[in-house]
């Protein structure tokens, strides 16, 4: 179906070795066999991949990796994070007529920046988990007929991030305490900044 076009392949390193071999054949030979028919297939592939420390990923075969140009995309800075969080949470909440308050996106972006820059953290918070934290906090408050609070957000941030963030923690309680402290630090920074 991608013949003459571009195949966008999300999370290529979730392909098992058998699927990688099939993709390699198509990229190398420019044809594929489907139900006994040889079908010509010329296309360009743009693929994303997850970091190797994520679970459920496979190392790309040497032959497939040799045909890829790798472009590293760094973790976004705080301002870009805030824009992404505001935009995506707005998309998820527009059917309710809700827009994420500036305090939620600012505190979340600050929190994510603090955690991701910590040298003791191996895997930082994901943007997806942050969006879910914001939208879940907003949804729960909306269902209760009240404004969302930073305490609502804190609960959801910790709940969503505890399984995502990896670092030098003895147990889950220690990780929850760490996330709570970093969130409180982000709130203090937000309050200092907003007083100006």
The CATH code of the domain that includes 148 is: 1.20.920
Same domain, 60 and 86: no
Same domain, 82 and 176: yes
Cβ atoms of 100 and 90 within 8 Å: the answer is: yes
Same domain, 131 and 40: no
How many domains, the chain?
A: 2
CATH number at residue 32: 3.40.50.300
**Structure tokens, 67:** 């045909």
Same domain, 61 and 113: no
Mean pLDDT of the chain, nearest integer: 89
pTM of the model: 0.76
Cβ atoms of 70 and 29 within 8 Å: the answer is: no
**Domain membership of residue 27 as a residue range:** 6-65
pLDDT in tens, 7-60: 888 888 888 888 888 888 888 888 777 788 877 777 788 888 877 766 678 888
Same domain, 82 and 131: yes
**Structure tokens, 187:** 């709130």
pLDDT in tens, 67-118: 888 888 888 999 999 999 999 999 999 998 999 999 999 999 999 999 999 9
Same domain, 119 and 178: yes
Q: What angle do CA 106, 71, 110 make, to 5 degrees?
A: 10
Same domain, 92 and 142: yes
Q: Does 70 reside within a domain?
A: no
Same domain, 146 and 93: yes
Q: From 129, 135, 140, 81, select the one nearest 106 (Cα to Cα).
A: 81
Same domain, 116 and 157: yes
Q: Does 57 reside within a domain?
A: yes
**Structure tokens, 131:** 């969006």
């Amino acid at each position: 179906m991608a013949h003459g076009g571009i195949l966008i392949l999300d999370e290529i390193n979730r392909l098992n070795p058998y699927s990688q071999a099939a993709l390699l054949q198509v990229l190398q030979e420019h044809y594929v066999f489907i139900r006994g028919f040889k079908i010509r297939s010329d296309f360009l592939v743009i693929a994303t991949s997850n970091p190797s420390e994520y679970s459920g990923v496979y190392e790309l075969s040497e032959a497939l990796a040799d045909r890829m140009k790798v472009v590293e995309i760094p973790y976004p800075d705080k301002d870009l994070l805030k824009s992404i969080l505001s935009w995506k949470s707005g998309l998820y909440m527009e059917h309710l007529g809700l827009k994420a308050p500036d305090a939620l996106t600012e505190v979340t972006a600050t929190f994510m920046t603090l955690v991701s820059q910590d040298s003791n953290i191996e895997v930082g918070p994901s943007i997806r988990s942050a969006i879910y934290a914001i939208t879940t906090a907003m949804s729960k408050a909306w269902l209760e007929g009240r404004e969302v609070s930073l305490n609502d957000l804190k609960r959801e941030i910790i709940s969503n991030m505890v399984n995502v963030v990896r670092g030098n923690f003895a147990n889950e309680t220690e990780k929850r305490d760490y996330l709570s402290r970093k969130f409180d630090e982000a709130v203090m920074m937000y309050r200092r900044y907003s007083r100006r």
